[in-house]
């Protein structure tokens, strides 16, 4: 006798069949994911320090081709001067040059960030003699952290006796003297042309223009 009972049906599998993947694409995606994770971890764990940021700013100063990874002797000297590592007593520009020559390679003209820290350690012993080695290096770091190259302002004019004599209106003579008043201010057109005075007063009269006021005051 045939069994007329309906057999329970299995639920349909709605998950689409997985297509065969390309091994090359899988490896690339995996590598990209690993690189992304490692770069994120590096950004969190190895953020650029304030000291290294200052190093990079000084390293690229005045050089459009610089990458900020290496520093020339000229910029090293500027950093020490602008950040007051050079105090003129314990540390001089000569000390800075000697340390730079000592730290850099014989055939190299630049120093890396790691060599930069070595150079600072050398100078810290001279700059902060009264402190321990650890305290001294921290103090010299504080002088540099967050700093940037100082941009020189407009060049000041150099004063000289010749320039002073040529620009002192009180020493002018002849027609040049007539172009300026006693305070040194130019008279404008009156100093360049002979204007006719029609006021009725004698030239140079101190009380010129006071007659009308006197007449009105007497009425």
Does the pLDDT at position 203 exceed 80?
no
Q: What is the pLDDT of residue 59?
A: 95
Q: What is the pLDDT of residue 11?
A: 54
The owner of tokens 């007497």 is: 218
Q: What is the pLDDT of residue 52?
A: 94
Sequence-distant (≥ 6) Cβ neighbours of residue 110 within 8 angstroms: 70, 71, 72, 73, 104
Q: Taking residues 58-63, what's their average pLDDT? A: 93
End-to-end, the C-alpha distance of the chain in Å comes to 152
Length of the chain: 219
Higher pLDDT, 93 or 46: 93
> What is the percent of the chain with per-residue pLDDT over 70, rounded to a whole number?
58
Q: What is the pLDDT of residue 120?
A: 96
Q: CA distances (Å), 49 to each of 103, 115, 144, 164, in order? A: 22, 16, 11, 51
C-alpha span between 141 and 138 (Å, rounded): 5
The pTM of this model reads 0.50
Helices (runs of H) and strands (runs of E) counted in the chain: 10, 2
Q: 139, 146 in Cβ contact below 8 A? A: no
Break the chain into its structural domains and give their ranges: 70-144, 161-216
Reported as a pLDDT band with limits 50, 70 and 90, residue 180 is confident
C-alpha span between 172 and 170 (Å, rounded): 6
C-alpha span between 121 and 114 (Å, rounded): 11
Question: What are the tens digits of pLDDT across the range 125-177?
Answer: 999 999 999 999 999 999 999 999 998 765 555 666 776 766 677 777 776 77
Does the pLDDT at position 201 exceed 90?
no
C-alpha span between 116 and 142 (Å, rounded): 15
The kind and range of the H/E element at 164 are helix 161-167
Does the pLDDT at position 5 exceed 60?
no
- For residue 128, give both structure tokens: 């902060």
CB burial of residue 91 (10 Å; 0-12, 13-18, 19+)? buried
CATH class of 70-144: mainly alpha
C-alpha span between 101 and 86 (Å, rounded): 17
Reported as a pLDDT band with limits 50, 70 and 90, residue 181 is confident
| Residue 146 main-chain phi, psi, to 5 deg | 80, 5
């Amino acid at each position: 006798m045939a069994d007329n009972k309906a057999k329970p049906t299995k639920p349909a599998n709605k998950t689409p069949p997985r297509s065969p993947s390309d091994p090359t694409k899988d490896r690339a995606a995996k590598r990209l994911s690993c690189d992304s994770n490692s770069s994120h971890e590096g950004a969190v764990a190895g953020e650029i320090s304030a000291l290294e940021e200052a190093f990079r700013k000084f390293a690229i100063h005045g050089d459009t081709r610089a990458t900020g990874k290496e520093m020339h002797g000229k910029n090293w000297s500027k950093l020490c001067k602008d950040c007051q590592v050079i105090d003129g007593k314990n540390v001089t520009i000569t000390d800075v040059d000697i340390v730079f020559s000592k730290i850099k390679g014989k055939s190299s003209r630049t120093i890396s960030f790691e060599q930069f820290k070595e150079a600072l350690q050398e100078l810290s012993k001279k700059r902060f003699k009264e402190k321990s080695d650890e305290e001294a290096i921290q103090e010299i770091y504080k002088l540099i952290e967050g700093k940037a190259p100082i941009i020189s302002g407009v060049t000041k004019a150099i004063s000289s006796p010749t320039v002073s004599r040529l620009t002192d209106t009180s020493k002018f003579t002849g027609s040049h003297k007539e172009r300026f008043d006693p305070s040194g201010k130019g008279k404008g057109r009156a100093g360049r042309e002979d204007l006719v005075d029609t006021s009725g007063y004698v030239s140079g009269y101190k009380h010129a223009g006071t007659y009308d006021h006197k007449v009105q005051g007497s009425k």
